[in-house]
Structures are given as structure tokens and as C-alpha cells.
Structure 1
Amino acid sequence: MKTMKAFLSALGCASMLLLAPASHAVDISHPPTPVILVDGTGTFGASFLSGNSGNTFSDKYTFSTVGLNFVDTLVGSIAHSALVGLTITGYDLYDSSNALVASGVMQSTGTVDLWTIATGGLPTGSYYVQVTGSIVSNTSASYAGNLNVLAVPEPQTYAMLLAGLGLVAGAARLRAKRT
């Protein structure tokens, strides 16, 4: 009889554990999203509904480059307290083969989370920035970012610039001799 009571008690506890809500984090990432670049700049971001406390995300924003480029980008989130909203825990730049190109630098955390990436010499290709973080409360939360892609001037551009400056200097010298 004692064995049966112990068995039923254990069965009851086990069923309660199975029916209890899971206490581990859930991945609430958004699908990869392209950044539409207009004149080399574009924006991106995401929002999360309330009730996601403790859940994590890892969102990807894709873009492509042509030629050699500088890439400067930032992502940020703001809340009235560090105890609400979300926390950005990482911000990185990857190429299409998932190789890390540049790691983000955390500028601030707390009520304002701000991360930046600045890199040069990025060749033609497909890339993505990845924002990772967690939701710290059951309130809604969001983050936003900006991506700037600037073409690196080619050596011919510098040669033309120097030639133009030389012509201007020569013209100024001729004008000075005439007066």
C-alpha cells in the first residue's frame, strides 16, 4: 500500500511538472530581412510584443555591396529604465558564408543600449548584420538601426584630384607672375 501511495504521489508530481509552463528562454527571432539601401544608406529594426520576458532573439539584416566599401552601422534601443524593454547583447557583421567580418562595439548599455560597427575595405559581396539580445520585462520593446555603405575612392580618383590641384596651382602661379 505504501508503495502504491509513493508511486501515485510521484506520478502526480511528474504530471504537474509536465503541465507547468516552461521556464527556459524561447527564441523569438524575426526572419532575415533585407536592408534597402538608397544612396548607400538604409534603416532596419524590430519590435517585440509584451509578455516575452526572458526570451532571446538573433535577427539578421542582409545587404549587398559593389566594389570596395566602407561600412558604418549602429543599432540602439531606449527605455525609461534598464529593467524594462530589451538588452542588446551583440552586434556583428558577417559575409554570406557566415564568416565574421567585424565585431560590434558596445557604446552604452542600460536605459540606452547602443552598438556600432565601422569597417573599411569591404569587397563586392553579400553581407548581414546580426543583432542579438534578450527581453528583460513583460513590456513591449523595440530596437532600430542604420547602415551606411560608402564606396572607397579608387586610386584613379586620387590621381585626378592631384592633377586638378596641380592645374589650379599652376594657373595661380601664372596669374601671380602676370601681376
Structure 2
Amino acid sequence: MKRTQTVTAALILAAAAGLPWAQATDISQGVQTLDLSSGSAVLKHEFGAGNAGNTFHDRYDFTASAGQSLGAFVASLSMVDMGLGGAAFDSFRVFNSAGFSFDGTRQSAPDAVVEVWALSIPHLAADHYYLLVDGTVRNDAAGNYVGSVAVSSVPEPSPVAMLFGGVGVLGWLARRRKA
């Protein structure tokens, strides 16, 4: 009993002392719907000054057609000496309607001035998807993150096979003519 009281008192004192984990606030923006009819859309979250240590879990919904490929990235610049706040990303993932996820990968060193994450999915099924950006605000300066999502049609196998077949026939003809 005494140990439980000691632990409880320590937690209360830590919260009162202002430790960042005790004061983290969720500053997620509401669910955003991306219009990919033009082939791409922008991701963006701006946060004001005084948000150091606060977390965000931003969701971007979109629909894709069968056979499309997807490319996406998210980036944040953090330069306190220039008054630019930034974000440290925890994850960058795409989910389909069944809850299956595709994970993005960090393209920069952890805690770099510019943090970049990217993902690529070569063949999507026709479905409703959402992109989830999770992270923490690095410092008290006002800042943001930006990114982009793009979808494009993947060529059908038959035109690609015909292209390679045609190149092969041209190579065979050139070799035969040389002989």
C-alpha cells in the first residue's frame, strides 16, 4: 500500500513539475478528404507557437481505382534559430478499407533539420484508403509539415510486352542484316 502511494505521489509531482509527457496535447486536425481526380493532392498541417511536445494523428481519406500506383511523401523543416518549428514523424502509413496497412519509410536521419518520409505502392485495388501521419511537434516555434499524394495509371502488361517484343524483333532483324 505504501509503495502505491509513493508511486502515485511521484506521478503527481512529475505532472506538476511540467514534464513534457505529462502535458502532451493531441492537436490532430479533423479527417481531410483528398481529391485525386487531377492525379495528386497536397497534405498540410500548420501548428502555432507553443506546441512543443504535442502530438498529432492526421488522417487523409482518398479513393483509388484498380491498377493505379501511389506515391506519397511528407516533410517537415525545423530550424529554431530561424523561428521555424517542425515535426518529428512517428509513422506514415496507408490503410485500405479492411485495415491492411502499407508503411512508409524514413528518408532522412532521425532528428535531422529536414525530416522526410515516403511510401510507394505499385498496384492498388479499387478501394477507399486513408493515409495516417503520426508525429510530435519538435519545438515551441510555429511550424508545419507538408506533403503530397499522387496516383497514376500503371500500364497493362500487354502493351509493355508488345513494346519489349517489338524491340526484340528489331534487334533480331539488325543482327540478321549484319550477318
TM-score range, shorter chain: 0.7 to 0.9
Distance 1:105 1:54 in 2: 22
Aligned letter for 1:127?
A: Y
Structure 2, gaps ≥5 residues long: 1-11
Distance 1:157 1:39 in 2: 24
Match of 2:60 in 1: 61
Match of 1:106 in 2: 106
Report 1:1-179 matches (<5 A). 23-81=22-80, 84-100=85-101, 102-108=102-108, 109=110, 110-158=112-160, 161=163, 165=166, 169=170
Secondary structure at the residue paired with 2:159?
helix
Q: Judging changes above 3 Å, is the alpha-carbon distance between structure 1 residues 66 and 84 closer, same or farther for their aligned structure 2 residues?
A: closer
Distance 1:141 1:132 in 2: 16
Report the number of matched residues: 154
Distance 1:78 1:160 in 2: 45
Secondary structure at the residue paired with 1:45?
strand
TM-superposed CA distance for 1:130, in Å, is 0.8
Secondary structure at the residue paired with 1:51?
coil
Greater Rg by CA: 1
Distance 1:76 1:59 in 2: 14
**TM-score using structure 2 length:** 0.72
Structure 1, gaps ≥5 residues long: 1-15
Aligned letter for 1:154?
A: E
**TM-score using structure 1 length:** 0.72
Query: How many percent of aligned residue pairs carry the same amino acid?
Result: 29
Q: Is the 8 A contact 2:85 2:144 kept in 1?
A: no
Cα RMSD for the two superposed structures: 3.2
